[in-house]
Amino acid sequence: MSPTPTVDLNCDMGESFGAWTLGNDAALMPFITSANVACGFHAGDPAVMKATVRAALQHSVAIGAHPGLPDLAGFGRRNMDISPEEAFDLTVYQLGALQAVVKAEGGQLHHLKPHGALYNMAATNAALATAIAEAVYQVQPELLLYGLASSELTRAGEKLGLRTAHEVFADRTYQANGTLTPRRQPDALITEARVAIAQVLRMVQSGLVRTQQGQDVAIRADTVCLHGDGAHALEFAQQLNQELRAAGVRLQAGAPATAQ
C-alpha cells in the first residue's frame, strides 16, 4: 500500500505593527496548519504577537517563531552584513520573546522559521545557518527548524540533531540550484492560482519542481509556505487547501511528505 502524502501548510503571520495592519490573519487561520509569528524585528509588536498566538490556539494551528533582521522599514527583506554571532543573538532574542507570549497564553511553541533576507542568507551561508540552528538547539531543542528544502539551514539543523521541515513555496519560482528566484527579478512570483497549485501538487506528490531554466529538480516538500499579505491570499489559501485534500493529501503541521 503506497503511503499517503502528508504536508504542512504554513503562513507568515503577526506582521502588523502599531497602527499598521498587514494581511488577514484571522480569516486565514482555518485553512493552514502552522503559523510563523513575527517577533518584532521586521514586523509585529507585543500586542500583535499576543493576538496572533491567541488566534492560532483557537484554531489548533501550530505556532512558530519567525525571527527576522532588525529592519522594520525594509520588512526584513534587505540583506544585512551580520556575523554568525549576531545571527545567533538575534535569533535567541526573538525566539525568547515569542516563547514567553506563547507560554503566557497557555500554548506550546512548535517551530522556528527565519524570515525574508535572514532566511535566504541562511539557505546558502553555512556559518549563518549553523548559528541559527545552534540558537534553536540551545533555547528549545525540541522545536522543528523550518528551512528552504535541502538548504544549508536544514543541513545545519540535521547535523545538530534538530528535527527539520524542508519548505517549498506555492507562489515563488525556482532556480536550477534549488534556491528561490530573487524577488527583484520580474519572474520571481507566480501570480496565477492554478499555476501555483499545480506546482504545489507536483512538489508534494512527485518531489519535483520545474525551474526557470526549464529543468526538473528533485525537491523535498514537508511544508508549503503561503504568503498571507497578497491581494487574493484568502481565496488562494482556501483553494489550495481544498485541492490538496481532494487529491488525497493529508494536512498536518510539521509532518513529513511521505508519512504513513
Please provide the DSSP assignment of 67-82 as one string.
Answer: ---S-TTTTT-S----
**∠ Cα 93 96 99 (to 5°):** 155
Share of the chain above pLDDT 70, in %: 97
Confidence of residue 256 (pLDDT cuts 50, 70, 90): low
pLDDT of 227 reads 83
Q: Which residue has the cell 502588523?
A: 16
pLDDT in tens, 109-140: 999 999 999 999 999 999 999 999 999 999 99
Whole-number Å distance between alpha carbons of 221 and 236: 19
Domain ranges of the chain: 6-251
pLDDT of 137 reads 98
Whole-number Å distance between alpha carbons of 9 and 89: 28
**Of the CATH numbers 3.40.190.10, 3.20.20.370, 3.40.47.10, 3.40.50.720, which one belongs to the domain with range 6-251?**
3.20.20.370
**Is the pLDDT assigned to residue 254 strictly greater than 80?**
no
Helix (H) or strand (E) holding 35: strand 34-38
pLDDT of 2 reads 58
Q: Lowest-confidence range among 1-10, 24-33, 150-159, 214-223? A: 1-10
pLDDT in tens, 191-203: 899 999 999 999 9
Q: Which residue has the cell 500554548?
A: 107
Specify the amino acid at residue 127: A
Whole-number Å distance between alpha carbons of 36 and 112: 7
**Is the pLDDT assigned to residue 257 strictly greater than 60?**
no
**Is the pLDDT assigned to residue 229 strictly greater than 90?**
no
Q: Tell me the CA distances in angstroms from 44 to 68, 76, 135, one per residue in order.
A: 11, 12, 21
Share of the chain above pLDDT 90, in %: 88
